[in-house]
């Protein structure tokens, strides 16, 4: 397959992504054109769909993301079970696009992140003395199931090799951001607001080695968890930020949240649900109860926290070194009008606030498109990670292929 794939100048690739928001599966069909040397010349979105998770599946996955509630039997079942959702998404995408599976070259599948632990933990050494320091990550979703259901080769496990090379395995999509959004004339930020917020820094005229990126902190994750708790699971997010818009930001709660070593750590850095998940939201609810805060005030404060950490990360770690003219936002957070207004309020006036959709990449499709490109680059035999972003010792070709 390698030789046949690399000999082609045009490819159809499906990117599959389900993020830390646990809202569903995104599937993007992209058309990639390469030059005679195999370098990408153009990438076009052919079609995109999102398959929402049911409440039952979302609750199962939430339990698996906490050591207090995760069970190994349920984890194993989910590893195979979510793959059926991915396979169904592929079938629905092909039907929507009017494309047969025989026209598609490969599926590039991220999987569902359950646990991401870039900070090393102790583990027994194979040498019999002392212990190792091991970083780890787990994305569930069995590629073999998707291969069997769709008949298409699948490349997955895209984070592991970067971590083996000493990186944090995240963020990975900045590699794709650089190919899709960098400009010869202006510095740009690509700010994704999913469950976790992450920013890609693209200096004007930047080469791959000049691109940087890191997780800014919680995106929608804390807001969603608070809404789920307050509505006893009847609602999973704050639509358009309408609840937060009725509240008042509580400065003491925001200050309490900002007193967090993660926000002071210099990049490269990454984080996830294991830090800003259910336990974190519970602490915020306890604080709100002690201070008699309404749900509206609590959500206003949590929304401001996301906006503040996004802009503060730019002010602290980007602007001192790089001139920036535009921030391009994407991800589910772009539909939260209150959050977007808060970001605009805090963002320096010299930086335009735009959306990736303004540059031809729909807000919700950017990550699925990015993982399609990462899988493509791996099959072309090209490194698809940025060590300056993840902290790895060197760039690698990351991904496991199931033929």
Domains of the chain: 1-156 (3.30.420.40), 177-359 (3.30.420.40)
23 is in an annotated binding site: yes
For residue 61, the model assigns a pLDDT of 95
8 Å CB contact between 286 and 292: no
21 is in an annotated binding site: yes
For residue 218, the model assigns a pLDDT of 95
For residue 131, the model assigns a pLDDT of 87
For residue 37, the model assigns a pLDDT of 87
For residue 19, the model assigns a pLDDT of 83
Tell me how far CA of residue 80 lies from CA of 91, 177, 326, in angstroms.
17, 30, 41
For residue 1, the model assigns a pLDDT of 67
Residues near 4 by Cβ (< 8 Å), separated by ≥ 6? none
pLDDT in tens, 39-73: 888 899 999 999 999 999 999 999 999 898 999 99
25 is in an annotated binding site: yes
209 is in an annotated binding site: no
Residues near 15 by Cβ (< 8 Å), separated by ≥ 6? 26, 27, 28, 30, 107, 108, 110, 367, 368, 369, 370, 371, 372, 373, 375
22 is in an annotated binding site: yes
For residue 301, the model assigns a pLDDT of 97
Indicate the pairing of strand 106-124 with strand 10-18. parallel
20 is in an annotated binding site: yes
Output the CA torsion sign for 127, 130, 135, 137: positive
> For the chain, what percent of residues have pLDDT higher than 70?
100
- For the chain, residues with pLDDT lower than 50 are none
For residue 289, the model assigns a pLDDT of 93
Report how far residue 297's alpha carbon sits from residue 245's, in angstroms, rounded to the nearest whole number. 9
For residue 327, the model assigns a pLDDT of 98
């Amino acid at each position: 397959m390698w030789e046949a794939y690399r000999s082609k100048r045009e490819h159809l690739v499906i990117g599959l992504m389900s993020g830390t928001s646990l809202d569903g599966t995104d599937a993007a069909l992209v058309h990639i054109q390469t030059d005679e040397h195999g370098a990408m010349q153009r990438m076009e979105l052919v079609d995109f769909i999102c398959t929402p998770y049911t409440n039952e599946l979302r609750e199962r996955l939430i339990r698996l993301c906490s050591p207090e509630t995760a069970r190994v039997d349920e984890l194993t079942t989910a590893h195979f079970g979510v793959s059926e959702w991915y396979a169904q998404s592929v079938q629905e995408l092909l039907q929507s696009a009017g494309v047969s599976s025989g026209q598609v070259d490969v599926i590039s599948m991220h999987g569902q992140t359950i646990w991401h632990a870039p900070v090393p933990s102790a583990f027994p050494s194979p040498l019999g003395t002392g212990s190792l320091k091991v970083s780890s990550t787990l994305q569930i979703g069995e590629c073999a199931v998707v291969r069997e259901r769709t008949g298409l080769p699948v490349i997955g496990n895209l984070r592991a090799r970067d971590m083996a090379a000493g990186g944090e395995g995240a963020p990975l999509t900045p590699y794709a951001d650089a190919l899709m959004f960098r400009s010869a004339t202006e510095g740009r930020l690509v700010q994704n607001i999913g469950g976790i917020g992450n920013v890609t820094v693209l200096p004007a005229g930047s080469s791959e080695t000049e691109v940087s990126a890191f997780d800014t902190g919680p995106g929608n994750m804390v807001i969603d968890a608070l809404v789920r708790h307050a509505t006893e699971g009847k609602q999973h997010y704050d639509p358009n930020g309408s609840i937060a818009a009725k509240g008042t930001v509580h400065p003491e709660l925001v200050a309490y949240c900002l007193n967090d070593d993660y926000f002071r750590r210099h990049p490269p850095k990454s984080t996830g649900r294991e830090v800003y998940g259910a336990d974190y939201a519970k602490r915020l609810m306890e604080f709100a109860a002690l201070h008699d805060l309404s749900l509206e005030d609590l959500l206003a404060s949590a929304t401001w926290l996301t906006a503040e950490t996004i802009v503060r990360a730019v002010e602290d770690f980007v602007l001192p070194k790089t001139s920036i003219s535009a921030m391009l936002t994407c991800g589910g957070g772009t539909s939260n009008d209150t959050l977007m207004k808060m970001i605009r309020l805090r963002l320096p006036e010299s930086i335009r606030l735009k959306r990736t959709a303004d540059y031809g990449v729909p807000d919700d499709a950017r990550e699925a498109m990015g993982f399609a490109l990462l899988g493509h680059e791996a099959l072309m035999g090209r490194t698809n990670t940025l060590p300056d972003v993840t902290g790895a010792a060197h760039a690698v070709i990351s991904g496991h292929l199931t033929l």
